[in-house]
Amino acid sequence: MLQKLYNPVLMKELKLRFRFFKSITGMLTYLAALLIFMAGFFLIVTNFNGSGYLRPSESFYMFLMLSIIQMALILFITPGLTAGSISSEREKQTLNMLLMTTQSSWQIVFGKLTSCIAFLGFLLIAALPIYSVVFLFGGVSPMQLLTIFFFYFVTMITVGSIGIFLSTITKRTITAMITTYGAMVFLAGFTAFFFFVTLIINETTGFLGAGGAASPTSPIAYFWASINPGALVLTTLSSDLSIGLTEMTGIDLPIWIPYLIFYVALTALMLFLSVKKLRVNMKRG
C-alpha cells in the first residue's frame, strides 16, 4: 500500500526545489516585498514621523492591502514555477526517460504540481509573522485570515494546474510561461475590464424590468466579478464592498461560491487534460 502511495517524482522535485539557492533568494525577496509595502503603509498613516499607532480601521486597511498584494504575488510567482515543469524536461531530453519509468501520467503531473504548491505554501507560512502585525492593532479576526489563506491555496492550485497543462502541450518553456502569464492577465485584468464594460453597457442600453423600470440585474457582470481574484479578496474581507457589488449586479450571492466552483472545476479540467496529453504520442501496450 505504501509502495503505491510513494511518488519518486514528488520526492525528487521537493529536494531540488528546496535545496536551490535561488529558492531561498526568492523567498527572501517575497518577504522583503511584503515588508516594504507594510512599512510604507505605516509611514504614510503616521505622517512619516515613525511614531504613533494604527486605529483598528487603519489596521484593517493594511490587512486588505497586504492581502491584495499577496494575491498579486501568487499570480505572478506561480506561473514561473509551474510553466516549465514538463516543457523543461522535454528541452533537456529527459521527458522520454521519465515516461518510460513505471510512474503513471497522474503521478508525474501530481508530483510536479505538488512540489510547486508546497514551495508556495511555504512562502505563505513564512509570511504569517508579517500578517500577525495587524492583530496588534485589532480590526481583523483570525477567521478572516484563515478564509483568505484558504482562497490563496485554491488560487495557487488552479494557477499551477493551468501552468502544468500549458507546459504539457507546448514544446518550449518560454512559450508555456508567456501563455500562462497571459491567462493570469485575463483572470486578474480582463475580467475586471469586462465587468465594468458590462455594467456600462447595461446602464446605457437601459434594460427594462417587469414594471418598466431599469433593472440593475446583470448576471454577466456578476460572472466576471466572481472569477476575479482581486474582487474575491475585496468582497470577502469587506462587507461594504460585497453589498456594493450586490447593488451593482443585482445578485445577492457571495462571489466566493461561484469562485470556488469555477476554480475547482477548472483545476480538475486542467489536470485531466494534462494527464491525457502527457503520453498522447505513445502507443498503449
User: In the block, which residue shows the cell 464594460?
Assistant: 197
Q: Roughly what angle, to the nearest 10 degrees, separates helices 219-226 and 239-249?
A: 150
Q: How many CB atoms lie within 10 A of CB 31?
A: 15
Distance CA(111)–CA(107), nearest Å, equals: 6
Residue pLDDT tens, the chain, 285 long: 444 556 777 777 777 777 777 778 878 888 888 888 888 888 787 776 656 667 777 788 888 888 898 899 889 888 888 888 888 888 888 877 777 777 788 888 888 888 888 888 888 888 888 888 887 777 788 888 889 999 999 999 999 999 999 999 888 888 889 999 999 999 999 999 999 998 888 777 755 444 444 456 788 899 999 999 999 999 988 888 888 888 888 888 889 999 999 999 999 999 999 988 887 655 554
Cβ–Cβ < 8 Å for 133, 38: yes
- Spell out the alpha helix ranges (H) of the chain: 2-5, 8-19, 21-45, 56-82, 87-91, 95-99, 105-126, 128-131, 133-137, 142-169, 173-185, 191-205, 219-226, 229-237, 239-249, 256-278
Helix then strand then coil, in percent of the chain rounded to 5, is: 80, 0, 20
What's the gap between Cα 206 and its chain centre?
Answer: 35
- Give dist(CA 59, CA 157) in Å, integer: 29
Measure the CA–CA gap between 137 and 60, rounded to whole angstroms. 9
Q: Which of 30, 48, 52 is nearest to 39 (CA)?
A: 48
